[in-house]
Amino acid sequence: MEKLSLARETAHLDWSHFQPREGLYCIPAIAAVLFSGVMLGEPAAGMIMAGAALNIGFGSFRKIQGSRLAAMLLAVVGTSFSAFAGTVLGYSDTSEAIAACLWGFVYGLLVVFGDDISWIGLQCGIALLVAGAFPGSLENGVIRGGLVLAGGVVQVGLFAMLWHLFSGAPLREDVAQVDPHKALQAIRGELNLRDPLTKLNSTAAQYALRVAATLALAVLTYRLLHLQNGYWLPLTTLLVLKPDFYRTYVGGLTRVLGTLAGVTVATLLTLLLRPQPLVLIALVLLFSWLAYAFQKVNYALFTGWITSFIVFLVAIAGLPEAVVTVHRLLDTALGSGIALISRVIGHTWTVAQQKHALEKVATAVGQGSG
Lowest-pLDDT choice from 54-63, 76-85, 121-130, 351-360: 351-360
Report the alpha-carbon distance of residue 153 to residue 148 in Å, rounded. Answer: 9
Residue 128 has pLDDT above 90, yes or no: yes
Instruction: Give me the amino acid identity at 53.
Output: A
97 pLDDT exceeds 60?
yes
Q: Beta-carbon neighbour count of residue 301 at 10 Å?
A: 21
Does the pLDDT of residue 359 top 60, yes or no?
no
> What mean pLDDT do residues 128-141 have?
96
Give SS3 for 202: coil
- Other Cβ atoms less than 10 A from the Cβ of 348: the count is 11
Q: Which of 57-66, 207-216, 307-316 has the lowest mean pLDDT?
A: 307-316
pLDDT score, position 183: 59
Give 64's strand partners.
67
pLDDT in tens, 261-291: 887 888 788 778 877 888 889 999 999 999 9
Question: Mean pLDDT across the stretch 136-164?
Answer: 96
pLDDT at 348: 54
Sign of CA dihedral 284, 289, 295, 298: negative
H-assigned helices in the chain: 2-11, 20-24, 27-39, 43-58, 68-89, 93-110, 115-132, 138-166, 171-176, 180-194, 203-224, 232-240, 245-273, 277-294, 299-316, 321-369
pLDDT at position 203, please?
A: 74
Rounded to 5 degrees, what are φ and ψ at 65?
A: 55, 35
Give the residue, 202 or 116, on which the prediction is more confident.
116
Q: What angle do CA 358, 363, 366 make, to 5 degrees?
A: 125
Q: Are 262 and 254 in contact (CB under 8 A)?
A: no
Per-residue pLDDT band at 322 (split at 50, 70, 90): low
Q: Outline where 112-226 has alpha helix (H).
A: 115-132, 138-166, 171-176, 180-194, 203-224
Distance CA 123, CA 360 (A): 42
Residue 196 has pLDDT above 70, yes or no: no
Report the b/e string of 219-233 with b at 16+ CB within 10 A.
bbbbbeeebebbbbb
The residue ranking higher by pLDDT, 329 or 93, is: 93
Percent of the chain with pLDDT over 70: 80
User: Is 50's pLDDT higher than 80?
Assistant: yes
The neighbouring-strand residues paired with 67 are: 64
Minimum mean pLDDT range among 56-60, 306-310, 360-364? 360-364
Average pLDDT, the chain: 83
Q: Which of 105-109, 151-155, 223-227, 312-316 has the highest mean pLDDT?
A: 151-155
Whether the pLDDT of residue 357 is over 80: the answer is no
Chain centroid offset of residue 340 CA: 17
